[in-house]
Structure 1
Amino acid sequence: MKIEFVKATLSDIPRMQELVLPEVQSGVILERNDDEVATNIRSYTLALINNELVGFCALHVHTADLGEIRSLIIKEGFRGKKIGEKLINKVLEEAASLGLKRVLSLTYKQSFFERLGFVEIPKESLPEHKIWADCIKCKHFPICNEVSLIKNL
């Protein structure tokens, strides 16, 4: 199973939205409309197997030294095959090449990120603009069960 990692293009948005829809509906991933995805299209990395979209995530830059992994999704049937791990490692390489020093994640999958070297941090240490730009749009706000983690690069 050869996985190809490519940067997303605008033409990928419909299939990205289709893949992420069940997780958005369940409240696991924050909904982003097509315009939001388009605005941030350069932050997305896709995982393809035989040109089939099997996963993606975004690297969002908060500050000159802090990034965030967002919207990690792996297609049902492809989970448990290390695709998510390889995708995160690819995005961490990109973060390092940009000069970021730290990458954070808000997740329900704490042990997954801890296996990749992330450590839990208090939510109070998150950038304030993260809370008001993203978290406030979540259907779980202000009662959030996600764990915040960070990895130093």
Structure 2
Amino acid sequence: MITLRKPKPKDIVMMQELVAPEVASGIILPRNSDEVSTNIRSYTLACDNDEIVGYCALHIHTPNLAEVRSFVVRQDLRGQGIGSMIVKALLEEAKFYEISQVFTLTYQRKFFERLGFVEIAKSELPVQKIWADCIKCKFFPVCDEIALIYDI
């Protein structure tokens, strides 16, 4: 049975192991353990007993705008609803913080559209996102990710 929980610093090693293939392929931006530790409260884990099988972060950019990022589900468990469970929990968390919009940059357009996200132009994203995160990407500045937003 899959359960959701907030991570503890001791989970960072397992989180980094889970995301490593996605980072290597350029699907997810690299985040070192210090950065994950600093932002540990923004993550939500999906666990099967004690094993982390997926996670995602809700990163707050402004009082009204947050981002779903660093989203991964173990390869062999994809398509079973775990990702939807995580993202829906993050949208509820955004509601708790009274954030009105949540965006994502992704290659998984259809997944996010099924959850109610709609495509927007990347130019609508906060400029600090581009210079704080996107510049670290091995595909920068030629990016083919899709920007999508969810109105709460």
TM-score, normalised on structure 2? 0.99
Amino acid at match of 1:73: V
CA distance in 2, matches of 1:102, 1:36: 24
Q: Which residue of 2 aligns with 1:20?
A: 19
CA distance in 1, matches of 2:150, 2:46: 22
Q: Which residue of 2 aligns with 1:46?
A: 45
CA distance in 2, matches of 1:9, 1:50: 15
Q: Which residue of 1 aligns with 2:75?
A: 76
Deviation at 1:52, TM superposition (A): 1.2
Amino acid at match of 2:122: K
Please, what is the CA RMSD of the aligned residues?
Answer: 0.5
Unaligned runs of 5+ in 2: none
Deviation at 1:3, TM superposition (A): 1.4
Q: Which residue of 2 aligns with 1:109?
A: 108
Q: Which residue of 2 aligns with 1:96?
A: 95
CA distance in 2, matches of 1:117, 1:89: 10
Alignment partner of 2:26: what SS? coil
Alignment partner of 2:4: what SS? strand
Amino acid at match of 1:33: N
Deviations 1:65-100 (A, max 9, x none): 100000110002111101000110011101100110
CA distance in 1, matches of 2:125, 2:2: 33
Give the fraction of aligned pairs with identical amino acids, expressed as a percent.
56
CA distance in 2, matches of 1:9, 1:105: 24
How many residues matched?
152
CA distance in 2, matches of 1:88, 1:124: 23
CA distance in 1, matches of 2:140, 2:149: 21
Deviations 1:44-77 (A, max 9, x none): 0000011211100000000001000001100021
The reply on whether 1:141 has 2:136 as its aligned counterpart is: no
Q: Which residue of 2 aligns with 1:5?
A: 4
The reply on whether 1:36 has 2:35 as its aligned counterpart is: yes
Deviations 1:7-52 (A, max 9, x none): 1111100000000000000000000000110110000000001121
CA distance in 1, matches of 2:35, 2:49: 27
Deviation at 1:151, TM superposition (A): 0.2
Q: Which residue of 2 aligns with 1:119?
A: 118
Q: Which residue of 1 aligns with 2:130?
A: 131
